[in-house]
Structure 1
Amino acid sequence: MLRLVLELAPCLLGGFWLGRRFPTLPSRLAPPLLRWGMPLSLTGLLLKGGLPLSAIPMAGLIAGLTLGGLLLCRQAPGLLPTRSLQLGAMVGNTGYFGLPVAIALLPSEALGFSVIYDLIGTLITWSAGPLLLSPGKSSATAMTLLKTPVVQALLLALPLGLTPWGPLLGQWLWLPARIVLWMLLLLVGMRLGLVLQRIDQADQGERPSLTGALMIKLLLLPALMWLLSGLLQLPELMRQALVLQAAAPTAMSVLLLAEAADAQNRGGKETLPAARLVLWSSGAAALSLPLWFQLTAAM
């Protein structure tokens, strides 16, 4: 647990202060990190941990649980009154938050499982997300999905992993990959600082309750993943990786999609609930993730 605290706390807290102190810094730091840093980092992690091609069928479990959960959330407007809460209850910050947690708590062999979870979650977020938040608008194109860092990393790592130099490249890229993940955690902290500032300045009118979304995201979703992976008798390491990724806080991309939806639909009310859910789920996940790890390690 100490390793997890040392992995997350300095970057998140430092980024939180920087985001409040220098509001324009995240917008300058994010583009190069997403364009170059994250694909390089994910490629290094895949080459280091190995490409778990035999685990690809677990993608069906991830997609089925996420999409099935989204459909059920759409049927519960009383519990999740806005579309951004419905999406945020099911898709997690597996890239920026979940991968550092996996590195801190699990051996390198689990990294491939975690990256596959991030891949499926990214594809669902950027394809189903726009359709959910902006009905009638077109969803993401194939080119949009190809530009996501996790897809680029997979396309790069797959051929490299089949060469004799794959493991050596994984060793060389290990430290740069870790540095990029630390920078991404710093960026998460900065954005959380800006989110808090936005919430402080927002209209203090009626606020949809976050309880349902938080309970689904941090408790029900990882519990279902733990149960289903046990029923399917998945290997212990794969099971741990899936549960930890399922327990990751709400993805920052939900806030970005909510902002885009409100920009298209003037007077929309998706951004503030999404911002509050991202902020509160990120804080609560710092407490719930270690508990999920202890539970899966004890079973």
Structure 2
Amino acid sequence: MPTSFPKYLGRTLYWVGVPLQVMVLARHSNLSLALWFPSVVTLTILFLGLGLSLVSLQSLKSLKYLSAFSIDRLMRRTSNRQVAEFRFGGKLLDLQLKLASFSRFCQRIWPPHRSGQGSFVLASMLGNTGFVGLAIAPSFVSKTYLGWVVVYGVANNLLGSYGLGVILASHFGQTQDRQNWSSKLRALLSVPTLWAFCIGCISRPIRFAQFIELGLNHLLWAVIPGSFLLIGMQLSRLKGGVKGLQAAALPAAIKMLAIPCLAGIGLTLLGVSGDARLALVLMAGMPTAFANLILAEEYDLDRQLAAGSILISTLGLPIAIPLWVKLFG
């Protein structure tokens, strides 16, 4: 394939394919349900991911220094190694080796630089609700709650990738953002999925000709595999992904396991069940967004950690979906 093909495929999906999918889903969704609820859930889950990632970073830092401190204390107390080995029968040496191994493990997965910490936080928060979520979730929930799926996807892009994600990326990044707030607002309002959602809602009372409806539905069958084709091509071109898999495993686990599990439990406690709960849990458990790599390039964050988290979370998706359907379906 030409090297420029993924670029043009991505632009086509961003400007035409996904907005068209959002418009059709909005037209066929039951928008009489309260749409504020999935928006509030989206924002809550974004802050949940932010909180879990910050707690994880601080815990890893504390564990790394605690294990190193414990090794130092043990070494000071056992200056006469032969006497210590005779008294403890080798158990003290085994403990030292285990603590040293644990300290090295924490050292490998804890990003010491702000650029790595920024990619860690974004990988734990931002989900691929556009290309992957809108392609998968509608197949598992009834048409009644398709509106919640669409609203979640749009809100995640606006509030997450283009809102909180940009703020955090500029905070952790090494480069200064020179754009003013008016240019950021223009970029936010130019997101095509937002306008497609509005057009889909407004055009609900309008009956299209049958051949137009059929044509739109058939076009969707090209959007979904096109999205997965783009993801596969992008993953195949990642550099250094295997090397950074250890550091990327924890944010991918937060995004794919911890967040959807806590979201499902929280929704259950609020009395939400059935397809309504499953729709939100599936969208909360989508893999790390490609926006993470875009923000890493723009704000000079850790590209290797970003790529590794996308790879792990995307490959783990076929395992996670049956789990959430079984638990919360």
Q: TM-score range by the shorter chain?
A: 0.7 to 0.9
1:60 pairs with 2:92: no
Instruction: Tell me the distance in 2 between the aligned counterparts of 1:77 and 1:286.
Output: 27
Instruction: Choose 1 or 2 for highest CA Rg.
Output: 2
Q: 1:68 to 1:273 in 2, by over 3 A?
A: same
2:234 aligned to which of 191, 199, 224:
191
Shift of 1:175: 2.2
Contact 1:218–1:247 (CA<8 Å) still a contact in 2?
A: yes
- The count of residues paired between Structure 1 and Structure 2 equals 265
Mapping of residues 42-53 of structure 1, within 5 Å? 42-53=22-33
1:107 pairs with 2:142: yes
Contact 1:46–1:170 (CA<8 Å) still a contact in 2?
A: no
TM-superposition CA deviations, 1:160-188 (whole Å, max 9, x none): 12x24279776652222232122112111
Contact 1:48–1:170 (CA<8 Å) still a contact in 2?
A: no
1:89 aligned to which of 93, 104, 124:
124
1:159 pairs with 2:202: yes
Could you tell me which runs of 5 or more consecutive residues in structure 2 were left unpaired when the two chains were aligned.
61-109, 112-116
Counterpart residue number, 1:259 = 297
Contact 2:42–2:155 (CA<8 Å) still a contact in 1?
A: yes
Contact 1:48–1:171 (CA<8 Å) still a contact in 2?
A: no
1:141 pairs with 2:177: no
Q: Percent identity?
A: 27
Aligned partner of residue 49 in structure 1, secondary structure: coil
Instruction: Tell me the distance in 1 between the aligned counterparts of 2:318 and 2:328.
Output: 16
Q: 1:133 to 1:37 in 2, by over 3 A?
A: same
Q: TM-score, normalised by structure 2?
A: 0.73
1:125 aligned to which of 150, 157, 161:
161
Shift of 1:225: 1.0
CA RMSD of aligned residues (A): 2.5
Q: TM-score, normalised by structure 1?
A: 0.80
Counterpart residue number, 1:285 = 317
Contact 2:135–2:224 (CA<8 Å) still a contact in 1?
A: yes
Instruction: Tell me the distance in 2 between the aligned counterparts of 1:207 and 1:164.
Output: 50
Shift of 1:32: 2.1
Counterpart residue number, 1:33 = 13
**One-letter amino acid of the structure 2 residue matched with residue 190 of structure 1:** M
Contact 1:69–1:90 (CA<8 Å) still a contact in 2?
A: yes
Instruction: Tell me the distance in 1 between the aligned counterparts of 2:8 and 2:278.
Output: 35
1:274 aligned to which of 289, 299, 306:
306
